[in-house]
Structure formats: C-alpha cells, structure tokens
C-alpha cells in the first residue's frame, strides 16, 4: 500500500525511473563493472574475471529482492549488493568484485550518475518552460496592465515584462544547474579514507579510468566521501529554482483573486470542481500546489548543509538523510516544473478587468509622469515632486481624478497645457523602454540554449 504522495500523487514517470530502486541498483552495478574493467586493464585482476563481472553486473542477474534478503542479515546495503553480484558470477570471478573499493566509492559515484540523469530531465523541462514564457512575453509585449509595488498600484507596465523577467530568471537557474553539474557529477574510487591505499600506486589511474568509463569527471581529492558542499549546492539550486516557480505561481494566484481577476489558470467547467460546498468556486489549485511543494523543496536546504560537516574522514549521519532529500528534491522540483508548464501553457486573460484595474485609481498612477514632465519643463525635481504630491493628496481627499486636480492647479498650468495634460493621462503611453527591454531579452534568448 502506497504511503508517500510521491508514490501515487506527485512526480513524473521520467524522474521516478531515475530514482527507482532497481535503477539505483543498476547504477551501482555499473560502477562495480567499471571498476573491474579498469583493474583488469592494469592487470590488477584477471581479464576473464572482469569480463564475467561486466556480464553479470545487471539487474537481469542481480535482483533487488536478493540484495534485500542479504541485507536483512548483514545490515549493510553495499556489502549485500557486492555479495549478490559475486554469487551470480561464474568461476572465481566473484572473488574480484569490489576489489580496492569502499562502500561510498560505489554510492557516491552511482549517485553522480543519478544526478546527471536528473539534471538532464530538469534542464530539458526548464528550457521548455522558459520558451513558453518567452512566447508569452512576445505575445504580451503591448498588453498594458497596472504594476504593483507593496500591493499598491504603482505605474503601468506590461504582461510582456512579467513573462520576460521570469524567463530571464529561469535561464539563470539553468546556468546554475549547468555549473553545479560539473562539480557534483564526479567519479570517486579512492578507497576507505581517500588515499587509494588498497590499490597502491595504481589508485589514481583507477579513479580516472573508472570515471572515464562512466562518463564522469574524476574527483580531484576526497576522503571517504565526495565532499558534501557540492551536494548542498545542488539542493540549493533546486530550492532556488523552486523559489522562482513559486514566485511565478504566486503572481498568478494574486492576479486570479476575485477583486483583481486579470489572469488565471484554466478551469474546465464540464469536469472540474472548485469546492465541495460552494458551486461557484474556480480555485487556482495548480498554482497553489506549486507554491506548497516549493516549501518542501526549500526545506531540504538546511539538512543538505548540515550533511557537509562530518566527523573526521566521514560518519554515517549524512546517509539516511540523503536517501530522503536527494530523490525527493529531484522528483518534486521536476514535478512543479511540469505543473508550471501546464499553468503557463493554459493561462486565461481577462482584458476588460486588466483595463479596469489600470484605471481604477482615476489617474493617480500617472503622478510620476506629471512630476517628470514638470521637471523637464523647468520646475525642478523637488518642486515638481512636492507639487504633484499635493495634487495627489487632494485627489485622494476629494475622491476626485488626478486630471481634474492638476488641470485646476495654477502652478501646474504654468508649465502644462490642457492638451498636454490630456495626453499625459493615457497609461498606455507611459511605458518607457519596456518594449525594447523585452526585445532585448528575446534577442539574448536566441543564444541561451
């Protein structure tokens, strides 16, 4: 019976396959096979033994059930895997399995392969999401809306700006993943405390050869483990990506609020139900799920950092923790990226509400424009600011429009004509360089992937 929601509710099949127990076992067997092959090339073990180990280093022969059965006796997962592999090898080949290695050589190297596969999936999906946002940015380059700071109406902006900002941020997240990949996806066959003592002077060569066979970069130096600062960095990359996805989803949630209702996620009225008791409800459940799960991903940063300081050449406190945080962080991050694709590929815009909200302050959001124009006309910035602020406060007090107040202000009229005031009241024409900024992002993005 399934217990954890990842087993039946959250996650994607692609990422589940990476962290599936059988796949993890397969990757460990591949490390053992690479080790045997490298050792045979240096005549440390017979070539025939290495060939047999390579033939049998597969879950086709080494079954997880058998490994688990042995582990119930040995209470050691890697020793159990080694025994299970050795016992399916013919002749005396089993005698040479795991020669010169320690458990964490296999664990850390195989985990590097899992990280590599996870990053490939994440990278591909984040690129797809970024491209979706770039398309939305281009389509909404002139879709003018009110910008908000501190939850208050500030100045006009465009939906194109919102989407372009998020695309640019996701591109940085991809760059962080790429940079981290080079540090976390490393091979390590360095022995019990990192000195390669059991392999003698061939240890450094074995470390390089095994890594090369597995398509990894060999670790430069280690003790019994690859140092956990790089694992913490990886989890922080995932957490940072999750924070970006939450930022995006949170904005859609806010924009879907009943009193705003500018943009929202799609809702199928024929099938979907918003509430078990309120028939009218259409809730932003996809965006809310993204926000909720991102909290779990970010929560794993603390234990990942705590896994770095271990006793001496290592202890076991990181192990149990990592069995949880590595697969869950990867699976949940991948899941909310996929949810984000669903969300942003099916956005629903409400143009009438966008326009209504743009003008809801009766022109007060154009105050900065008046201040800037008065300054250009010679009033001086501080004087212009004080003058427009007094007009804005008067408009608030009288529940009047800004245009009405500035038109009647004698100081303002010294600098601005009625026609100029009328022109300046149009929020659709106060967008600065926003269109060019979006174009710059779209142009830069051609070289992102």
Helix (H) or strand (E) run with residue 218 in it: strand 217-218
Q: What is the pLDDT of residue 83?
A: 97
Q: Which CATH number do you get for residue 385? A: 1.10.40.30
Q: Are residues 298 and 406 in the same domain?
A: no
Locate 338 and state its tokens.
Answer: 């996929």
Q: Are residues 75 and 172 in the same domain?
A: no
269 occurs within a structural domain: no
Whether the CB-CB separation of 217 and 187 falls below 8 Å is answered with yes
Q: Which of 23, 79, 62 is nearest to 327 (CA)?
A: 23
Q: Are residues 245 and 350 in the same domain?
A: yes
For 50-57, which contacts have Cβ atoms below 8 Å and span 24 or more sequence positions?
50/93, 50/96, 52/89, 52/90, 52/91, 52/93, 53/85, 53/89, 53/93, 53/94, 53/96, 53/97, 56/85, 56/88, 56/89, 56/90, 56/93, 57/29, 57/30, 57/32, 57/33, 57/85
Q: Are residues 344 and 435 in the same domain?
A: no
Q: What is the pLDDT of residue 280?
A: 79
Q: What is the pLDDT of residue 123?
A: 98
Last-in-domain residue among 76, 96, 116: 96
Last-in-domain residue among 357, 387, 407: 357
Separation CA 118–CA 112 (nearest Å): 10
User: Model pTM?
Assistant: 0.94
Q: What is the pLDDT of residue 276?
A: 64
274 occurs within a structural domain: no
Q: What is the pLDDT of residue 275?
A: 67
Q: Are residues 207 and 117 in the same domain?
A: yes
Q: Are residues 322 and 381 in the same domain?
A: no
Q: What are the two backbone dihedrals, phi and then psi, of residue 347, each rounded to the nearest 5 degrees?
A: -65, 145
Task: With a cut of 80, say whether residue 222 has pLDDT above it.
Answer: yes
Whether the CB-CB separation of 260 and 357 falls below 8 Å is answered with yes
Q: Which CATH number do you get for residue 51? A: 1.10.275.10
Q: What is the pLDDT of residue 319?
A: 96
> What is residue 219's DSSP assignment?
P
Q: Which of 408, 415, 411, 420 is nearest to 366 (CA)?
A: 420
Q: Are residues 284 and 168 in the same domain?
A: yes
162 occurs within a structural domain: yes
Separation CA 415–CA 205 (nearest Å): 80
Judge whether 428 counts as a catalytic residue.
no
Whether the CB-CB separation of 318 and 310 falls below 8 Å is answered with yes
Q: Are residues 153 and 23 in the same domain?
A: no
Q: What are the two backbone dihedrals, phi and then psi, of residue 60, each rounded to the nearest 5 degrees?
A: -65, -30
* Catalytic residue from among 124, 179, 266, 275: 275
Q: What is the pLDDT of residues 231-283, one digit of tens each?
A: 999 999 999 999 999 999 999 999 999 999 999 988 777 777 776 677 777 78
Query: What total of structural domains would you count in the chain?
Result: 3
Integer CA distances (angstroms), 271 to 79, 81, 267, 275, 430, in order? 52, 49, 9, 12, 42
Last-in-domain residue among 67, 96, 125: 96
Q: Are residues 123 and 32 in the same domain?
A: no
Integer CA distances (angstroms), 237 to 112, 301, 435, in order? 16, 9, 31
Mean pLDDT for all residues in the chain: 96
193 occurs within a structural domain: yes
340 occurs within a structural domain: yes
Q: What is the pLDDT of residue 281?
A: 73
235 occurs within a structural domain: yes
Q: What is the pLDDT of residues 70-102, one digit of tens each?
A: 999 999 999 999 999 999 999 999 999 999 999
327 occurs within a structural domain: yes
Q: What is the pLDDT of residues 18-77, one digit of tens each?
A: 999 999 999 999 999 999 999 999 999 999 999 999 999 999 999 999 999 999 999 999
6 occurs within a structural domain: no
Domain containing 118: what range?
Answer: 103-264+279-357
Q: Are residues 247 and 314 in the same domain?
A: yes
> What is residue 433's DSSP assignment?
T
Locate 144 and state its tokens.
Answer: 């003018």
What does the pLDDT average to over 399-417? 94
Judge whether 275 counts as a catalytic residue.
yes
Separation CA 10–CA 210 (nearest Å): 35
Q: Are residues 346 and 370 in the same domain?
A: no
Separation CA 406–CA 388 (nearest Å): 8
Q: What is the pLDDT of residues 277-332, one digit of tens each?
A: 777 777 889 999 999 999 999 999 999 999 999 999 999 999 999 999 999 999 99
Whether the CB-CB separation of 112 and 185 falls below 8 Å is answered with yes
Q: Which CATH number do you get for residue 136? A: 1.20.200.10
Q: Are residues 304 and 336 in the same domain?
A: yes
* Catalytic residue from among 150, 280, 312, 410: 150
Separation CA 36–CA 46 (nearest Å): 9
Q: From the CB of residue 111, how many other CB atoms can be counted at a distance below 10 Å?
A: 23
* Burial of 263 per CB tally in 10 Å (0-12, 13-18, 19+): buried
């Amino acid at each position: 019976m399934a217990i954890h929601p990842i087993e039946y509710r959250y996650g994607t099949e692609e990422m589940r396959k990476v962290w599936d127990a059988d796949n993890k076992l397969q990757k460990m067997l591949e490390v053992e096979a690479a080790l045997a092959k490298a050792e045979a090339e240096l005549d440390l073990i017979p070539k025939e033994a290495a060939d047999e180990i390579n033939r049998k280093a597969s879950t086709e022969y080494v079954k997880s059930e058998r490994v688990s059965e042995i582990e119930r006796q040995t209470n050691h997962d890697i020793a159990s895997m080694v025994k299970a592999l050795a016992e399916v090898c013919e002749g005396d080949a089993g005698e040479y399995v795991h020669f010169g290695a320690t458990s964490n050589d296999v664990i850390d190297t195989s985990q590097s392969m899992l990280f590599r596969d996870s990053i490939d999936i994440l990278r591909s999906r984040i690129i797809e999401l970024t491209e979706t946002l770039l398309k939305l940015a281009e389509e909404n380059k002139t879709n003018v809306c009110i910008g908000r700071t501190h939850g208050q109406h500030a100045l006009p902006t465009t939906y194109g700006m919102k989407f372009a900002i998020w695309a640019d941020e996701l591109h940085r997240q991809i760059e962080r993943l790429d940079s981290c990949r080079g540090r976390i996806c490393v091979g390590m066959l360095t022995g019990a405390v990192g000195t390669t003592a059991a392999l003698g002077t061939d240890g450094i060569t074995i470390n390089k050869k095994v890594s090369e066979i597995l398509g990894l970069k060999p670790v430069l130096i280690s003790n019994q483990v690859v140092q956990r600062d790089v694992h913490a960095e990886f989890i922080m990359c995932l957490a940072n990506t999750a924070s970006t996805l939450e930022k995006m989803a949170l904005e859609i949630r806010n924009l879907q609020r009943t009193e705003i209702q500018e943009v929202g996620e799609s809702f199928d009225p024929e099938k979907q139900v918003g509430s078990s008791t309120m028939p009218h409800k259409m809730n932003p459940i996809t965006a809310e799920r993204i926000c909720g799960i991102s909290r779990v991903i970010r929560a794993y940063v603390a234990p990942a950092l705590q896994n770095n300081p271990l006793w001496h050449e290592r202890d076991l406190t990181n192990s149990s923790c990592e069995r949880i945080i590595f697969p869950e962080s990867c699976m949940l991050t991948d899941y909310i990226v996929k949810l984000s694709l669903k969300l942003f590929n099916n956005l629903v815009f409400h143009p009438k509400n966008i326009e209504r909200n743009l003008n809801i302050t009766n022109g007060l959001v154009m105050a900065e424009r008046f201040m800037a124009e008065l300054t250009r006309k010679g009033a001086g910035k501080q004087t212009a600011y004080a003058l427009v602020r007094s007009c804005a406060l008067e408009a608030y007090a009288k529940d009047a429009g800004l245009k009405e107040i500035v038109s009647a202000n004698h100081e303002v009229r010294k600098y601005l004509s009625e026609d100029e005031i009328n022109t300046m009241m149009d929020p659709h024409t106060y967008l600065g360089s926003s269109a060019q900024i979006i174009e710059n992002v779209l142009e830069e993005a051609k070289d992102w992937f």
